[in-house]
Amino acid sequence: MKLNRTALLLAIVAISHAPAYATEAKPGYFGISAGQATVEDFCDGSEASCDDSALSFRIYGGTELNGFANLEFGYRYIDDIEASGVISGIGVALAVNGHFVDTTLQLGMPETGPFKVFTKAGLMLWRLNYEAAASNGFQTFSVSDNDTGVAFRTGLGISYEISERVRLRADWDLLLNVGDEDETGETDINVFSFGPEFRF
C-alpha cells in the first residue's frame, strides 16, 4: 500500500479536528446513491469484448461543520468491469470490481432556496479484486488476486430539498490514480450517481 506524504498530512489534520467537533451537537445526515462508474483506459481496442462501465452504489453519513462545510464518510462498491479476447490462440477474460472507503470535506455556498451546490475533496482507501481466466479449448485456468492502496477523490454535487428532513442529491465523483502503478497500472474512475439524503 502506498501512502504519500500529502495524504498522510491530510489524514492527520482530519483526525486531529474530529474531537473538537464531536463536543458540539452538529446537524447530521446519511444517504444512499446508485449510478454508473466508468474506468478510464480499461479498454484499449485490442479486446474482442470490453465493458469499462459498471453499476456503483454508495452509502454515506456526515455532519455539518458550519454553513459552508460538511465532513462526510462513505463506502462505495463498483461492480465488475469486464474484458475478453484471444491472445496467441488462447481465450482470456478479466473481471475487476472495487471497494472504496472515503473521508471527504464538502465545501459549498450557503443554501439559498431548495438547491445546494458543493464541491468536495478527500482521501479513500481502495481495494480492487481481479478475476482472470484463460482457456485453450480443452482446459480452463483461472486466478484471482487483489490490490489495495490510498488515493484522492474529488467531484461536484447538487442537492434539492424536498422537505426539512429529505433531500435528493446528484453527484459526480472523480477517483484519482486507483491501482498499483508498478503492477496493474493506475487509472481514474468517473462516477455519476443519484439518491436520497436524510437529515437528523
**pLDDT tens-digit readout, 134-188:** 988 788 889 999 999 999 999 999 999 999 999 999 999 999 999 987 767 899 9
Ordered DSSP codes for 36-78: EEEETTS--S-SSEEE-EEEEEEEEEEEE-SSSEEEEEEEEEE
CATH 1.10.620.20 fits 5-13+35-83+96-125+150-199, yes or no: no
d(CA 173, CA 102): 12
pLDDT in tens, 65-110: 988 899 999 999 999 999 998 877 888 999 999 999 999 999 997 7
Domain segments of the chain: what residues?
Answer: 5-13+35-83+96-125+150-199
- Is 124:98 a contact under the CB 8 Å cutoff? no
Q: What is the pTM of this model?
A: 0.82
